[in-house]
Amino acid sequence: MNREEREGPTDGAAPVPPESPPAWSTLGQNIGTPPPYSDENDNFLPSYEDLPQKKVDLPPYQEEQPGEESFMRTHHVRDFMAAADQLGTDSVFILCFLICFLFNWLGYIICFCLFTSVAARCGAISGIGLNLVKLLLILKRCTFENPQMIQAQQYMQIHEIQYMLLMTLGLLVLVFGILRYNSAKSAVRRTLLLPRYM
């Protein structure tokens, strides 16, 4: 292209307007922006009284009567949340189980004082049951130098029935805590599955 074609005709013809920027470069700049404020525009703005009154047809206002369904729905959710809070989680059950298993009666008292959920209480009961089994096995199988422990070991050897009853009691307490926690979990799940109006 030569210079004359690029600049356009120089002989008195109307000049060619410069090219406008591409559409993507101004995208979003002018959309939704108000015109710049000036005192001249202030004279053309209508006052509140000058605006036309537009009526909108709305349905008549009715106070919402708390029906039985909404009442039951809110109470169902509230009851479920309270039951879930009182139930606890599996991790709390395992934590309390291990604390009671490792720290004996001291761990049992700590768990009952610090935690109020069903999971914590059942975990503590199960941990005490397994702790009793552990102590009986230690007493039966190990050799001791302490005279009191030697007498307790001899007593257990003489009274084998009492040893077996205590072992069975420890296992039953362990199983009782686990079954009680599982039944509490299933009861909470059942309340979740119940219809809201029941």
User: pLDDT digits over 6-59, tens only?
Assistant: 555 555 556 666 666 555 555 555 566 666 666 665 566 667 776 677 666 777
- Which run of H or E residues covers position 186? helix 160-193
Query: 15, exposed or middle or buried, with CB in 10 Å at 0-12, 13-18, 19+?
Result: exposed
Reported confidence tier of residue 2, pLDDT bands at 50, 70, 90: low
Average pLDDT, the chain: 75
**Is 45 in contact with 173 (CB distance < 8 Å)?**
no
Query: How far is the C-alpha of 131 from the C-alpha of 101, rounded, in Å?
Result: 5
Percent of the chain at pLDDT exceeding 70: 56
What per-residue confidence (pLDDT) applies to 180?
93
Q: What is the pLDDT of residue 129?
A: 94
Q: What is the mean pLDDT of residues 159-182?
A: 91
CA distance 5 to 19: 15
The pLDDT-based confidence of 121 (bands split at 50, 70, 90) is very high
CA within 13 Å, CB half, 113: 7
CB 101 within 8 A of CB 131: yes
CA distances from 91 to 36, 96, 97, 192, 195 (A): 62, 9, 10, 21, 29
Give Cα separations from 97 to 21, 30, 133 (angstroms): 73, 66, 14
